[in-house]
Amino acid sequence: MRISILILALFAAVPVLADEGMWTFDDFPAATVQKTYGAAISAEWLDHIRLSTIRLSNCTASFVSPDGLILTNHHCVESCLAELSSKDSSLIDMGFLAPTRGSERRCSTQLADVLVGMDNVTQAVAKAVAGLGVKAANDARKKALTELEQTCELASAKAKTGKLKCQAVTLYEGGEYFIYKYKRYDDVRLVFAPEADIAAFGGDPDNFQFPRWSLDFSMLRAYENGKPAKTPSFLNIDFDGPKAGELVFVSGHPGSTQRLETRAQLEFERDVSLPSSLLRGSELRGRYIQFGSVNAANEELVEAPLNSLENGLKVRRKLLDALHDDALMARKSDDEKALQAVSQRNGPDPWAAIDDASTRERALYLPYTFIEAGAGFNSILFRFARLLVRGADERTKPNTARLREYTDTALPRIEQQLFARVPVYSEVEVMTLSFSLQRMREWLGPDYPLVRRLLATDSPDTLATRLVAETKLDDPFVRKQLWQGGKAAIQASRDPMIELARLLDDQSRALRTQFEDEVEAPISAASEQIAAERFKAFGTHVYPDATFTLRLNYGTVQGWTENGTTVTPFTYLDRAFDRATGVSPFKIPPSWLKVKDQLDLKTPFCISTTSDIVGGNSGSPLIDTEGHIVGLMFDGNIHSISGAYWFDAAKNRAIALHPAIIREALDKVYGAKALMAELSAR
């Protein structure tokens, strides 16, 4: 019995054969797919898909040629486009096509990881924490995971695979632990991106909407030793796309779901964290928009962070709506009661333990969020300063005694962030830092000791202005020197941003320890217990919550019914021209208007499918039974957002770009002959 079927049988009036589930590749329900759809999914097919799928920093992608060519979304490369832009020339606005391989441009903070192996280490972790109290177990578990990562990386360096990145993965809220092994490409270059006006056509108003007409794709290339990487595992594109009703798969990295969390955890989201982050985010949105309204240069400076913020706001707004749906909360309660009823535990009540921890979390939320989680110091330069200050401390400790984000495994990513030549715009920095200091003063109160100390003779504005003006951390060379200088360099530094990070650090670490001991530790322990109960009750045919690790799901090309109206699963190019107003975000760029007569206006544009995906799946290949790409996932409909908490088979739909519009664009609009040839070679 699957949890999906249990939930449906108990509570919902939707078809029993919901295509729900974000399955790990080692536990994909091939038998169910065979039974339901008559399709045979082999182990080789699974391996081929897995080895062709890529994890980017916050997205998914796939290899689409043997020479390392990568297909992903436009919005997944937006920070790369911003990094390669200057105040005078915006690649986000203009798009980019490398005329030759030699002119492909490196995205300095982009990594591309391919999952080459998965080791189940649940037993080893259980052994490490056996017999320990809640707090000690939490510390021991982290230490064990760091050790397992370290051992794995050392072993891989000696093996014929070559050096791999090894990362600990927690599945089923602690029901299982794995070490995932990745082949990492750290030289990733920009090959092609369309103009934002067509890539994000419809902008924030159309985000999470379907029907849809956003050309949300771009191309990168992985390099090794300065040359295009050899990538024998890659996916061919079937430019004709799928048929309505066809069985399709999505391979990718759903970021985070909370379907297995308890009611108390969801109530914390609903009552505390979502309202607070929505209010802060909404105000910041207003500041970005107003900042950008001054002139075109300002508008470009905030374009990328504003897009990302608006996407997050829409998600969180809909998450809050979902949590205000009494039916969802009632279902969650009933689900908990059903599990409690069949549970045969004799120990303490894990649900009650989570209730208690959530109460502590409410009390700790504001200082933790503003000080340790950084909501009071919204500034790229401050984040550099904190990485430098903490990194200097942590690197003096043995690997297993460090904060998890500073272990040897994690350091290369930190160094890449610190050393990259990314532009930092001081006007934007002053705005975001001043904003966050102001809100920290508002929410913690002017008499909170740290607030009082920072703002004794300053306003948030004067403090932010001075810090940004006087710090030298906008210079990657200065950052590199401070990093390499270690603790001595940090202690000697008179850089005001470093001084600020140093000033906060004891207090901030104390909040973190308190949070880990009083909230994280009891929740981890209780969640492991609940996971064990769930395994006992329902066997292993349950899928774990999303954790930005590789998953595969199956579904079909399908529309849905909205307020009695049928939404069909394909859109076509002609309607994009009808929808255009001439003004962004409904503006079709000149490159398209110029060739409109030559375009086939009946070209399919977007596809809706029943695939169970969430944020992090952006850029995922939509795959047919033959293993060909028949679409590029870039969004979900508005109902998909509640997928964080449950899968609504009747209304939750994923949105993919149709491959035919990719061909139409590359062929007729951008004249990207070499790229088309590379994609079409068989």
Tell me, what amino acid is at 96? F
Say whether residue 568 binds a second copy (CB under 8 A).
no
Note the Cα 458 to chain centre separation in Å: 37
Which residue from 144, 260, 137 is spatially nearest to 532, judged by alpha carbons?
Answer: 260
Question: Tokens 């999914």 identify what position?
Answer: 41
Are 515 and 357 within 8 A, CB to CB?
no
Q: Are 226 and 187 in contact (CB under 8 A)?
A: yes
CA distance 2 to 21: 10
Strand-pair partners of 635? 655
Q: Which 203-232 positions form the footprint of a second copy (CB under 8 A)? A: 204-206, 209
Which range, of 22-30, 34-42, 281-289, 544-552, touches a second copy by CB under 8 A? 281-289
Cβ-based nearer residue to a second copy, 153 or 269: 269
Q: Which is nearer to a second copy, 215 or 284 (CB)?
A: 284
Q: Which is nearer to a second copy, 22 or 431 (CB)?
A: 431
Residue 290 touching a second copy (CB under 8 A): yes
Tokens of 159: 């093996």
Closest contact distance (angstroms) between CB of 329 and a second copy is 11
Token duo for residue 521: 């530790």
Q: Which of 191, 165, 184 is nearest to 77 (CA)?
A: 191
Stretch that binds a second copy, among 276-284, 383-391, 466-474, 507-515 (CB under 8 A): 276-284
Q: How far is the CB of 58 from a second copy (least distance, A)?
A: 23
The residue (of 528 and 635) whose beta carbon lies closer to a second copy is 635
Judged by CB under 8 A, the number of residues near a second copy is 44
* Residues 556 and 609 sit within 8 Å (Cβ to Cβ): yes
Question: Among residue numbers 574 through 593, which ones bind a second copy (CB under 8 A)?
Answer: 581-584, 586
| d(C-alpha 675, C-alpha 663), whole Å | 10
Q: Considering the complex, what minimum distance in angstroms separates the CB of residue 276 from a second copy?
A: 9
Residue 682: count other Cβ atoms within 10 Å of its Cβ. Answer: 3
3-state secondary structure 353-384: HHHHHHHHHHHHHHHHHHHHCCCCCCCHHHHH
Retrieve residue 381's tokens.
């330069």
Residue 562 binding a second copy, by CB under 8 A: no
Residue 386: its H or E element: helix 380-394
> Could you say whether residue 334 binds a second copy (CB under 8 A)?
no
Q: 343 or 359, CB closer to a second copy? A: 359
The nearer residue to a second copy, 3 or 322, going by C-beta atoms, is 322
Helix, strand, or coil here: 177?
strand
> Which of these segments, 71-79, 120-128, 267-275, 569-577, binds a second copy (CB under 8 A)?
267-275
In the complex with a second copy, the residue whose CB is nearer, 96 or 210, is 210
**Distance in angstroms between the alpha carbons of the first and the last residue of the chain:** 42
Q: What is the dihedral of CA 171, 174, 175, 176, to 10 degrees?
A: 50
Binders of a second copy in range 445-504 (CB under 8 A):
445-446, 455-459, 461-462
Does residue 295 belong to the site contacting a second copy (CB under 8 A)? no
Question: Can you say whether the dihedral through the CA atoms of 663, 666, 668, 669 is positive or negative?
Answer: positive
Using rule CB under 8 A, residue 287 touches a second copy: yes
| Burial profile 457-469: b = 16 or more Cβ within 10 angstroms, e = fewer | eeebeebbbebbe
CB of 102 or CB of 446, closer to a second copy: 446
Indicate the residue among 71 and 444 with the shorter CB distance to a second copy.
444
Could you tell me the smallest distance in angstroms from the CB atom of residue 459 to a second copy?
4
320 binds a second copy (CB under 8 A): yes
Q: Is 431 in the site for a second copy (CB under 8 A)?
A: yes
Nearer to a second copy, 317 or 395 (CB): 317
Question: Which CB, 119 or 461, lies closer to a second copy?
Answer: 461
Least gap, CB of 141 to a second copy (angstroms): 32
- Closest approach, Cβ 185 to a second copy, in A, equals 38
Residues in Cβ contact with 579 at an 8 Å cutoff, skipping those fewer than 6 apart: 202, 213, 586
CB of 446 to a second copy, least distance (A): 4
Residue 610 and residue 19 in contact, taking contact as beta carbons nearer than 8 Å: yes
- Give the closest residue to 4 by CA, choosing from 534, 468, 416: 534
DSSP for 420-453, written as a single string? S-----HHHHHHHHHHHHHHHHHHH-TTSHHHHH
As measured in angstroms, the least distance from the Cβ of 293 to a second copy is 7
117-135 b/e with 16+ CB inside 10 Å = b?
bbeebeebbeebbeeeebb
Q: Does 264 bind a second copy (CB under 8 A)?
A: no
Least Cβ distance, residue 324 to a second copy (angstroms) = 4
Binding of a second copy by 202 (CB under 8 A): yes
Pick from 34, 103, 293, 396 the residue near a second copy by CB under 8 A.
Answer: 293
Nearer to a second copy, 37 or 586 (CB): 586
Distance CA 406, CA 190 (A): 29
Query: x/- string (CB under 8 A) for a second copy, residues 66-95?
Result: ------------------------------
- Closer residue to a second copy (CB): 40 or 279: 279
**Interface residues toward a second copy, by CB under 8 A:** 202, 204-206, 209, 271-272, 275, 278-280, 282-291, 293-294, 317, 320, 324, 431, 435, 441-442, 445-446, 455-459, 461-462, 581-584, 586
